[in-house]
Amino acid sequence: MTDKLLKIAYKTMKSIQKAYKADRDHLVRLEEPVKICRLAETVYGHAVPDWHGRLLDIADRVVTILPPEPGKETCDGASFCPDKIDALDLDLAPSYLTHDAGTEEMDAMAEDPVWIAAGWTQPELRRLWDDLLGMMVRRQADALKSWKRVAGNGLARVMRSAVRALGGIMHGHLGAILAAALLALAGCSVPPDESVVDEWFWAPHDKVTYTVVKRGAFGSFTTSQDPAKGGSVPEDGASSGVAGSSSSVVLDFRFGGFRGGKAVEDSRCRISKLKVGKDSLSIHWDTKIPDDWARDKGEKGPLIVVAAFYKSGDAWIGGKFDWIDESRSSRSLENIKGGYGGWDGAAFTSAKKHAVCVVSADGRFRSNLIED
């Protein structure tokens, strides 16, 4: 009898290990900044300070999740739950990407003097992202019909209870563990605190641009040679050569939520004749985009990033402001002027010197940088 129980236990353990490995075998990369919501003036009795992190931005209580730098992806989808549930028409990416961004940075937030002064603790920050996860799944569920709405709402409650329990285990909070265990035994769960959100910008039907690949497929790169000569992307540093010169300058990708500072100049992609007008800018394509450049599948075909910069002292400051392909030679400056991804429109339009380059959608390669 004992041997039989040991065999069952061993098979169970192996099955759990296999399920865990399958659940963690991929990474999810957010490709576009997503404005989620405006938090309430006080959350759990605390004011909400600004925060500008690697994956998360909070400005005037507006929560925006940001794409990670290439090679620094950490989100691995919904834990022990399908990332997409086709039977319910649910794509959980907006909720788990938001939750992962918040929990990734909450320890640093809890140690920040400004957040400490506002009274925030790490458990309260974890609770905030758990609440947002539950609310975002429920918002999607409430947009469904009949039985799908009921099932989706049930899933929202289960997911929030699960992250409350697992988060408590991961961070050693006994109260959270015991509360989740008691709720599970009682067959119920506590709904998320809706009062933490003052205004929603993300809507249940809004699509979020993201890429899913096998773990490790995003890769890390160690050389800074021209890809045309067999090189690839630098692992560290944010310097890129300008217009094929041997000198290097820092391209400060500060706006647009796109991390392109590590992009290597590819001599196979050349642009020229930059003209910056009042409402738009234009370039000339000297070559086609290399076939091995990563592209985003946009509404008008495969696209790459077009990045603009303005001169501030010796630095080029700017970032992504739109998508482009070889069929287009001009782009509107509407996004820059409208503050897309934190853009400082006034600084750009008032600057005397501007520059533009195009960048592969994965942030690995770029064209030459051209000035007006």
Residue 59 pLDDT: 93
Whether 147 and 259 map to the same domain: the answer is: no
- The pLDDT mean for the chain works out to 76
What is the pLDDT, as a whole number, of residue 356?
A: 93
What pLDDT does residue 159 have?
Answer: 64
- Tell me which residue has tokens 């569920």: 141
Residues 367 and 241 sit within 8 Å (Cβ to Cβ): no
Report the candidate in 192, 186, 72 with the shortest Cα–Cα distance to residue 132: 192
pLDDT the model gives residue 171: 39
Q: Which of 179, 214, 249 is the last residue of a domain?
A: 214
The pLDDT-based confidence of 270 (bands split at 50, 70, 90) is very high
3-class SS of residue 334: helix
- What is the pLDDT at residue 228? 54
Over residues 91-112, the pLDDT tens digits come to 888 888 998 899 888 889 999 9
pLDDT for res 172: 38
Residue % of the chain over a pLDDT of 90: 25
pLDDT confidence bin for 208, thresholds 50/70/90? confident
Residues 188 and 129 in one domain: yes
The dihedral built from the CA positions of residue 160, 165, 167 and 173, taken in this order, carries a sign that is positive
Burial class, 92, CB count within 10 angstroms (exposed 0-12 / middle 13-18 / buried 19+)? buried
pLDDT band at 4; cut points 50, 70, 90: low
Q: 230 versus 306: which is more confidently predicted?
A: 306
87: in domain: yes
Residues 181 and 329 placed together within one structural domain of the fold: no
pLDDT at position 240, please?
Answer: 36
Do 156 and 251 lie in a common domain?
A: no
187 and 267 within one domain: no
The residue ranking higher by pLDDT, 303 or 11, is 303
Comparing 24-28, 159-163, 184-188, 342-346, which segment has the lowest mean pLDDT? 184-188
Triad 51, 53, 54: Cα angle to 5°? 165
CA atoms within 13 A on the CB side of 372: 20
Q: Are 325 and 197 part of one and the same domain? A: no
Which of 250-254, 269-273, 295-299 is predicted with the least confidence, judged by mean pLDDT?
295-299
User: Residue 17: inside a domain, yes or no?
Assistant: no
Question: Which residues does residue 248 pair with via DSSP β-bridges, in sequence order?
Answer: 241
Give tens-digit pLDDT for 226-261.
555 555 444 333 333 333 332 355 788 888 888 888
Residue 56 in any domain: the answer is yes
Domain boundary at 214, 249, 270, which?
214
Helix (H, G, I), strand (E, B) or coil at 187: coil
* pLDDT (average), residues 172-177: 40
Q: Looking at the predicted structure, is the pLDDT value of residue 22 above 70?
A: no
Q: How many CA atoms lie within 13 A of 263 on its CB side?
A: 32
* CA–CA distance, 319 with 210 (Å, rounded to integer): 19
Q: What is the pLDDT of residues 280-295, one digit of tens each?
A: 999 999 998 998 888 8
Q: Could you tell me if residue 361 is inside a domain?
A: yes
The 3-state DSSP class for residue 273 equals strand
Using CA atoms, how far apart are residues 67 and 56, in angstroms rounded to an integer?
Answer: 9
DSSP states of 114-153: HHHHTT--HHHHHHHHHHHHHHHHHHHHHTS-HHHHHHHH
**Within a domain: residue 143?**
yes
The mean pLDDT value for 325-349 works out to 89
Identify which has the larger pLDDT, 306 or 192: 306
Q: Identify the domain boundary among 182, 214, 246.
A: 214
Q: Provide the pLDDT confidence category of residue 6 given band limits of 50, 70 and 90.
A: low
Asked whether residue 301 falls in the same domain as residue 334, the answer is yes
Distance CA 206, CA 227 (A): 36
Q: pLDDT digits over 115-150, tens only?
A: 999 999 998 998 898 888 888 888 887 777 777 766
The answer on 342 and 313 residing in a single domain is: yes
Rounded Cα distance between 211 and 360, Å, is: 14
Q: What is the pLDDT of residue 116?
A: 94
pLDDT band at 77 (very low <50, low <70, confident <90, very high): confident
pLDDT at position 67 over 60: yes
311 has pLDDT over 80: yes
Residue 137: C-alpha distances to residues 49, 92, 97, 131, 132 (Å): 26, 7, 12, 10, 9
The closest of 66, 100, 85 to 140, measured between CA atoms, is 85
For residues 203 and 284, state if they share a domain. Answer: no
Based on the fold, state whether residues 346 and 210 are members of the same structural domain.
no
Assess contact for 305 and 318: CB atoms under 8 A. no
The residues near 226 (Cβ < 8 Å, ≥ 6 apart) are 264, 265, 266, 267
What are the beta bridge partners of residue 200? 37
- Count of structural domains, the chain: 2
Alpha-carbon distance of 154 to 150, in angstroms, equals 6
Bridge partners, 249 (sequence order)? 240
pTM of the model: 0.51
Statement to judge: residues 197 and 268 lie in one domain: no
Which range of residues forms the domain containing residue 356?
227-371
Strand 315-324 relative to strand 248-255, pairing: parallel
Answer whether residue 94 is part of any domain.
yes
Give the model's pLDDT for residue 11. Answer: 59
pLDDT value at position 81?
65
Asked whether residue 296 carries a pLDDT value surpassing 60, the answer given is yes
Residue 75, Ramachandran bin (φ over 0: left; ψ between -120 and 50: alpha; else beta): beta
Is residue 222 one of the residues assigned to a domain?
no
Mean pLDDT comparison of 161-170, 217-226, 242-251, highest-scoring range: 161-170
128 Cβ contact partners less than 8 Å away, ≥ 6 residues apart: 43, 44, 102, 196
In a domain, 238, yes or no: yes
Most confident of 154-163, 202-211, 235-244: 202-211
Task: Looking at the structure, tell me whether residues 187 and 103 fall in a common domain.
Answer: yes
- The closest of 83, 139, 75, 70 to 102, measured between CA atoms, is 75
